[in-house]
Structure 1
Amino acid sequence: MTSLATIKKNGGLANKNTGSNFPSLSWFDDFTLNDFPSLFSSNFNTGISLPKVNIKEVADTFIVEMAVPGMKKTDFDINLDNQILSISAEVKEEHKDDDEGYSRREFGYSSFKRSFTLPDSVDDSKINANYNEGILNIHLPKREEAKRKPSRTIKIS
């Protein structure tokens, strides 16, 4: 078991010569926020942070894979503006329960936006996307002239 803060074994409530009739909390005097760096440096973000992205290049297309589990395909907004592909999502949740005089209401909001500058080799008229089992896939087909040509042997004349 790990300890979160170091407390002296003899540190309980102790009287110090402070000229006061109140006991000193010596264990609290030794307590610093440095003992809890992960707790107080956390941003307490419970929404969606920037999702992880894989970008693969194959012979005739680029494939963008984004891990965004728990969402619906209607939550996404994918836009292309001047060779900049933007992927964003917004989820709002609200739950309300009224039972025997007690009321409970919970709500949440999560959003993200990722943008990518596309190379000139992408044929933007053929871009398509699908969402399946928590993975958003965007296929960015290459222009015909940018596709990798198979190797061939050139004869010398």
Structure 2
Amino acid sequence: MPLEKWNPLRELETMRREMDRIWDDVFPSRKMGLPWKRQPGAQAESGAATPAIDVIDKNDSVVVKAEMPGVSKESIDVTLEDNVLTLRGELREESDLKEGNYAYSERNYRYFLRAISIPFKIRRDGIKASLKDGVLSVVLPKAVEEQTKKITVEVSGQS
């Protein structure tokens, strides 16, 4: 077996990868896939639920799908500011159970928030959101980037 020069940076990189794996196991919401995984705004505020999402990069748009079972469209707020898509809202569940002389009432209110950095310029006038079967779909059309235009320099009035 040939000797290999020891490199402390290699061991630090191995340790960093192992810590990332441990955090991904503890916080599954971190597993969003690049380029979204390590961008700021990808995690929710403390105390709020974080809906599971898929972010799909299509040729002309970015589609974000978020699981929101039981959430009504009226309680969902979708905003895009500085290329950060924010999904927020509240789920209210109320149930009344009556058994003989015993009445039982339970109310469950859950707040959710998810902020996702979008690494593309977005055309704001074409953004669409829909809710179907407990899945929120947000379509963000990509802005057409202007092509570089070559300008010909003309020579005028030689003296």
C-alpha displacement at 1:97, in angstroms? 4.9
**Whole-Å separation in 2 of the counterparts to 1:98 and 1:123:** 52
Alignment partner, residue 95 of structure 1: 95
Alignment partner, residue 131 of structure 1: 131
**Contact between 2:88 and 2:114, CA under 8 Å: does it hold in 1?**
yes
Please give the TM-score of this superposition, normalised by the length of structure 1: 0.54
Alignment partner, residue 143 of structure 2: 143
Q: Deviations over 1:74-129 (max 9, x none)?
A: 22111222332110120122334567543221111112100022335211222110
Alignment partner, residue 39 of structure 2: none
Alignment partner, residue 117 of structure 1: 117
**Whole-Å separation in 2 of the counterparts to 1:65 and 1:52:** 8
Name the % identity: 26
**Whole-Å separation in 1 of the counterparts to 2:107 and 2:56:** 37
Normalized per residue, the structure richer in helix is 2
For structure 1, the residue ranges without an aligned partner over 5 or more in a row are: 1-47, 147-157
What SS does the corresponding residue of 2:125 show, helix, strand or coil?
Answer: helix
Question: Aligned pairs, how many?
Answer: 100
Taking a change above 3 Å as real, the CA distance of residues 134 and 94 of structure 1, as seen in their structure-2 partners, is closer
**Whole-Å separation in 2 of the counterparts to 1:87 and 1:135:** 12
**Whole-Å separation in 2 of the counterparts to 1:72 and 1:86:** 17
**Whole-Å separation in 2 of the counterparts to 1:130 and 1:75:** 13
For structure 2, the residue ranges without an aligned partner over 5 or more in a row are: 1-47, 147-159
**Whole-Å separation in 2 of the counterparts to 1:70 and 1:55:** 21
What SS does the corresponding residue of 2:145 show, helix, strand or coil?
Answer: helix
